[in-house]
Amino acid sequence: MFEIKLPELGEGISSVEISDVLVNTGDTLKIDDPMIVVETEKASMEIPATSSGIVNKIHVNKGGTISPGDIIISISGDTVKIPEPEKITEDEKTTIEKQDSETIDTATIKKTENLMKTESPSTTSPLGKPVLASPSVRRFARELGCDLKKVNGSGSKGRITQDDVQKYIKARLTEISDQSPALPLTAPGQALDFSKFGDIEIQPLNKIKKITGHRLQQAWQAIPHVTQFDKCDINNLEELRLKWKKDNRDPDIKASLIPFFIKASGFLLDEMPQFNSSLDNSNKNLVLKKYINVGVAVDTAEGLVVPVIKDVNNKSILDIARELTLFSRKARDKQLKPTDMEGGCFTISSLGGIGGSYFTPIINPPEVAILGISRYVKEPKLIDGKLQERLILPFSLSYDHRVLDGVDAARFTTEFGKRLSEFKKLV
């Protein structure tokens, strides 16, 4: 008998909801066969089997929750054994614990720095209180920026467990959340009994739509949005794309305009570093990023997801197109991983395949700007004293007015249009 457990799904993901169970008792599983579908805050994804065999028992249910390390199924037959972790001798353990005890007071992580600053001095344990915790628990606490002297241990002789650290962090986050003003969750009229006007149907929002809606509401209320509208001539670019499409023999590459938008954005993020930044938690410091990663909103049956193309300035149009095609396929097949959607610096939302002239995209925090692409249209344009019919692309740039101003935005949109007109080849 072998147990297949839920692997780590990404930083900060402690539990996920099970939206579907894809196996039954008695089924024969192969490695990489999907077992369950889970929903994270960003996407719906399938969890594949890591071993082959016959399903003896299913330990989860549709609609339930599961955490990394929890058992999904038990199988028998052709299974793969997981190697035992390397054991630490008592002497090594003593040395590690001594080293950890010397550094525990200063071991904090910047991402939780604000949380630790909110600690009340009265919660600090008396000086010299012994901290009983294993090296793994100490390491876990350091990664969360948690001072173990403030955690009550539930283990033998007051030993602190990983669960104790998690409970402490959750309690502190809850305290801070309770002290903050609540966001309005309903608009006027939502409490009406709509059935008195006619027949209705109740359709629950899936988890992705609920979480996305909450995040967008927070972003709209917390960030002072301003939107700059512009348009540019893409006649030559479209000719290049059509030639590329005709010559393209690679089934893994979709010859769309979006890779050009990504590449042009990458150039500008490098030239205008204020757009490639984020405010820290204090809202007093600007974090300038030395890497350039661009997210692209992808429409799926479950809702919008935003996979991130990493290091775009070091990739060709073809490289970007290939990666974008792969991500789009993975998004539709529920195979995107949380790591595929992390690390974005700037987001592009394209409605060009659907229609519309302009729209105001909502910034994807902690980014400071987002580009909205609309459908191009044919318009007359005066060139060398003669009217010519050209393809004109309308687009919108929403930006965080705490970081950027109108001059910055106008320069960005102007240069973006110029970049699109300058592509001569698939660089």
Query: Using an 8 Å Cβ cutoff, are 241 and 260 in contact?
Result: yes
Measured between alpha carbons, how far is 148 from 65 in angstroms, rounded to an integer? 28
Question: Look-up: residue for tokens 């992390």?
Answer: 342
Gyration radius of the chain's alpha carbons: 26
Written as six digits, the tokens of 251 are: 């089934």
Residue 126 neighbours by CB under 8 Å, 6+ apart: none
Pairing of strands 294-296, 346-350: parallel
Terminus-to-terminus CA distance in the chain, angstroms?
Answer: 53
| Residue of 47, 337, 16, 247 whose CA lies nearest to 326 | 337
Pull the structure tokens for residue 391: 């393809």
| Residue pointed to by tokens 């540019």 | 232
Q: Are 376 and 392 in contact (CB under 8 A)?
A: yes
Catalytic residue among 59, 214, 225, 401: 401
| 422 phi, psi to nearest 5 deg | -95, -10
Comparing CA positions, the residue from 304, 305, 307, 303 lying closest to residue 295 is: 307
Cα 376 versus chain centre, distance? 29
Cβ-contact 374, 394 below 8 angstroms: yes
Query: Is residue 24 helix, strand or coil?
Result: coil
- Peptide bond before 366: cis, by omega within 30 degrees of 0? yes
- How many other CB atoms sit within 10 Å of the CB of residue 323? 21
CB 77 within 8 A of CB 27: no
Which residue, 38, 36, 17, 18, is CA-closest to 27? 36
Active-site residue flag, 401: yes
Query: Could you list the active site residues?
Result: 401
